[in-house]
């Protein structure tokens, strides 16, 4: 995913992380990336604001998440003298309200601290996912241990029918079928276990399936079913 972000967007550099709207983005995801030098005693990553969900990776490895409305998985790290690490924070805009006191709600993260110390020097990659045609894929097998774009194909011999996509072993993300965003999945929250894929979105022959997994997965395969599983 980290290489994919560079294919999809030019980085916006800022001393402090900015909200999505401040860099001209209004939906989707933003990747915040920085390099931290040692020595550094063990420090917990903290935020002044997370709107709405932030997933943390250190040197490309999933470490935990923070959410606006519920407890997440706080992340700590330490570095010896001469060491450094790359910290990536993938923030998701999970939706907006159109009324009330939060109508001007901004999305993204603000004020990233290591314990009590603010960290400065960030590259931000806007990822609205409205066009992912620039992505390049490579062959992968095994577990998906970090955020990733995954592409596969569904071959249909006869006339397409309504079907339901199940992503056992995946955590959270978005699915696109032949370029159509069919929705988000959130398996650790539930209760829904399948996404509806209408027949008109499919075609006879080869159909492209792209899964953007924002966390991690212990699978690299998905299943198409003839019945929904709504939990």
The domain locations on the chain are 2-127, 148-225
Specify the CATH superfamily of domain 2-127: Galactose-binding domain-like (2.60.120.260)
pLDDT for the residue numbered 90: 98
pTM for this entry: 0.93
Beta strands 53-58 and 61-67: pairing type?
Answer: antiparallel
Distances, alpha carbon 209 to alpha carbons 4, 174, 192, 206, in Å: 17, 11, 20, 10
Alpha helices in 111-196 (DSSP H): none
Per the listing, tokens 């696109």 go with 176
Distance CA 100, CA 81 (A): 50
2-127 and 148-225 share one fold: yes
148-225 is a CATH 3.40.50.150 domain: no
Burial of 53 (0-12, 13-18, 19+ CB in 10 A): buried
Check residue 51 and give its pLDDT. Answer: 95
- Average pLDDT for runs of 10 along the chain of length 231: 93 98 96 98 96 96 92 92 98 92 92 97 97 90 84 95 96 96 93 96 97 91 94 83
CA distance 98 to 119: 33
Give me the residue label for tokens 């924002």: 214
């Amino acid at each position: 995913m980290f290489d994919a972000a560079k294919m999809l967007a030019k980085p916006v550099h800022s001393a402090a992380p900015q909200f999505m709207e401040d860099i001209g983005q209004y939906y989707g995801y933003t990747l915040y990336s920085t390099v931290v030098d040692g020595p550094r005693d063990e420090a917990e990553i903290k935020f002044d604001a997370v709107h709405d969900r932030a997933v943390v990776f250190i040197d490309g490895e999933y470490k935990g998440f923070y959410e606006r409305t519920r407890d997440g998985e706080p992340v700590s790290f330490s570095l010896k003298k001469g060491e450094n690490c790359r910290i990536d924070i993938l923030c998701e805009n999970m939706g907006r309200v159109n009324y009330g006191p939060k109508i001007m709600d901004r999305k993204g993260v603000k004020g990233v601290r290591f314990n009590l110390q603010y960290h400065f020097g960030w590259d931000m990659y806007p990822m609205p996912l409205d066009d992912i045609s620039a992505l390049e894929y490579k062959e992968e097998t095994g577990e998906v241990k970090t955020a990733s774009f995954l592409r596969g194909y569904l071959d249909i011999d006869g006339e397409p029918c309504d079907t339901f996509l199940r992503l056992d072993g995946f955590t959270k993300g978005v699915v696109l079928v032949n370029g159509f965003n069919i929705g988000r999945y959130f398996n650790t929250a539930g209760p829904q276990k399948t996404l509806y894929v209408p027949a008109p979105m499919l075609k006879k022959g080869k159909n492209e399936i792209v899964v953007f997994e924002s966390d991690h997965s212990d699978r690299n395969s998905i299943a198409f079913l003839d019945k929904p599983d709504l939990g």
